[in-house]
Amino acid sequence: MAEHILAFDTSGPYCAAALLRGDEVLATTVEDMARGQAERLMDLLNETLAAHDLAWRDLTALGVGVGPGNFTGIRISVAAARGLAMGLGIPAVGVSTFEASLEDSQNTALALPAPRDSFYVQVFQDGVAAAAAQHLPALPDSSQARILSPKPGDLVTNIARCALARHATNPGAPKPLYVKAPDAAPAKEAGPKILT
């Protein structure tokens, strides 16, 4: 019986889903949106499954994009994947944009454009991350980094393929890949005293 993998990603200004049956891509859906991913994600996933006469119980595993990217968008997908995996009793595999964009087992540095003309960068050796991802204000002049500009549909499909390849290894709960500190700062004033 073929394995069914449902993957999704909201780390950018979109809501994307891909459905695999074994190696076959059954569906890839991308809806551009700067806001509203939290409200749209579950309906999009339900519609994707229904269009192929599948139910949640038919899934073997989930794949989820963990970033880097939009802080809130990453949290939406990762929280949904963790909750679904727990409720369905199936694994959820977190896949970074870097991993989903890595071709074969290259020894390379991958760079992803970030806000304010900066970059997220990660170095891979033999297909494995050699160091933690970094947030750099600019790429060095001598950089041999391959700059990524993944299309959301290709990205979510590759996330599904990575999940297919890795779900049997007990990957644990997916974790967000936050490369830089959040832009929001804690309140400077103390909150109100709570009476009990």
Predicted local distance difference test score (pLDDT) of residue 187: 74
Angle at 92 between CA 130 and CA 18, to 5 degrees: 95
Tell me the average pLDDT across 87-113.
Answer: 90
Structure tokens at 4: 């069914």
In this prediction, residue 173 carries a pLDDT of 95
Q: Give the other-Cβ count within 10 Å of 101's Cβ.
A: 17
* Domain parsing of the chain, residue ranges: 4-98+150-169
Question: Alpha-carbon distance 145 to 41, whole Å?
Answer: 33
Residue 80 pLDDT exceeds 80:
yes
Q: Give 4-98+150-169's CATH code, choosing from 3.40.50.300, 3.30.420.40, 3.40.50.720, 3.90.1150.10.
A: 3.30.420.40
Residue 182 banded pLDDT, cuts 50, 70, 90: low
The model carries a pTM of 0.91
Q: Confidence class of residue 20 from pLDDT cuts 50, 70 and 90?
A: very high
Residue 119, pLDDT > 80, answer yes
What are the φ and ψ backbone dihedral angles of 66, each rounded to 5 degrees?
A: -105, 5
pLDDT band of residue 107 (cuts 50, 70, 90) is: confident
Residue 151 pLDDT greater than 70, yes or no = yes
- Please determine, for residue 180, whether its predicted confidence score (pLDDT) is greater than 90: no
Tens digits of per-residue pLDDT, 22-68? Answer: 999 999 999 999 999 999 999 999 999 999 999 999 999 999 999 99
The pLDDT-based confidence of 104 (bands split at 50, 70, 90) is low
Distance between CA atoms of residues 34 and 26, nearest Å: 26
pLDDT of residue 150: 93
Q: Residue holding tokens 């727990």?
A: 86
